Amino acid sequence: MADEKTTTQPLVGIIMGSQSDLKVMDAAAEILETLGVPYELTIVSAHRTPHRMIEYAENARKRGLKVIVAGAGGAAHLPGMVASLTTLPVIGVPVKSSNSIDGWDSVLSILQMPGGIPVATVALNGAQNAGILAAQILGTTNAAVADRLEKYKSSLKDKVMRSVEELKR
């Protein structure tokens, strides 16, 4: 698709229902950059551009994507509908949109998938974890990504241990 922001041969497709989701979904892109995972990022609305959604989902695997991270808010049908159209793993990010009923609309729309069509749902606004999970899926067959994930996780441990030292009294 011509308007996608691409890096070299994207392996993760980050999609979202609206530009208003970008402030949340950027966290998935940022962590993938940190982990050296090529990604693409674009807007695909299940309700406003349904044909674009079908085209995106049906062509994603052929285009070389390995994982899709899909964020949406409200009646958040994008992750589930994309999952129904591809065999790629789909990670759903419930976005708390401005007219949301505390985010429960987004969470439940993405979480409660019928049997046979799984979506790996992260926490409300949990785009960073979606990016990490996408990298972990890739890391099962990509040693370089797995190594970077180990360093990242080790940095989390180091941060906690620094706090432990600082708080010693």
Kindly tell me which residue out of 13, 45, 91, 145 binds ligand RP5, with binding defined by CB under 6 A.
45
**Cα 81 from Cα 62, distance rounded (Å):** 18
Tell whether 48 is in a known binding site.
Answer: yes
Closest listed residue to residue 93, CA positions, set 115, 113, 116, 119: 119
Under the criterion CB under 6 A, does residue 73 sit at the interface with ligand RP5?
Answer: yes
Identify the CA nearest to 125 among candidates 92, 102, 95. Answer: 95
List b or e across 25-39, with b for residues whose CB sees 16 or more CB atoms inside 10 angstroms. bbbbbebbebbebeb
Kindly state whether residue 44 participates in binding ligand RP5, applying the rule CB under 6 A: no
* Residue 26 among known ligand-binding residues: no
Q: From CA 44, how far away is CA 120, in angstroms rounded?
A: 19
d(CA 131, CA 127): 6
Residue 18, annotated as binding a ligand: yes
Binding ligand RP5 (rule: CB under 6 A), the pick from 1, 5, 9, 20 is 20
Q: Point out which span in 10-18, 33-41, 120-128, 156-164 binds ligand RP5 (CB under 6 A).
A: 10-18
By DSSP bridging, strand 39-43 and strand 5-6 are antiparallel
Binding-site member from 14, 35, 44, 72 for ligand RP5 (CB under 6 A): 72
Contact residue for ligand RP5 among 11, 12, 14, 17 (CB under 6 A): 17
Q: Is 97 in the site for ligand RP5 (CB under 6 A)?
A: yes
CB proximity list for 87: less than 8 A, separation 6 or greater: 61
Among 12, 53, 60, 74, binds ligand RP5 (CB under 6 A): 74
Sequence-distant (6+) residues with CB within 8 A of 84 are 57, 117
Does 109 participate in binding ligand RP5 (rule CB under 6 A)? no
| Pick 71 or 139: Cβ nearer ligand RP5 | 71
Judged by beta carbon, residue 28 or residue 37, the one nearer ligand RP5 is 28
Query: Site residues (CB under 6 A) for ligand RP5?
Result: 16-18, 20-21, 45, 72-74, 95, 97
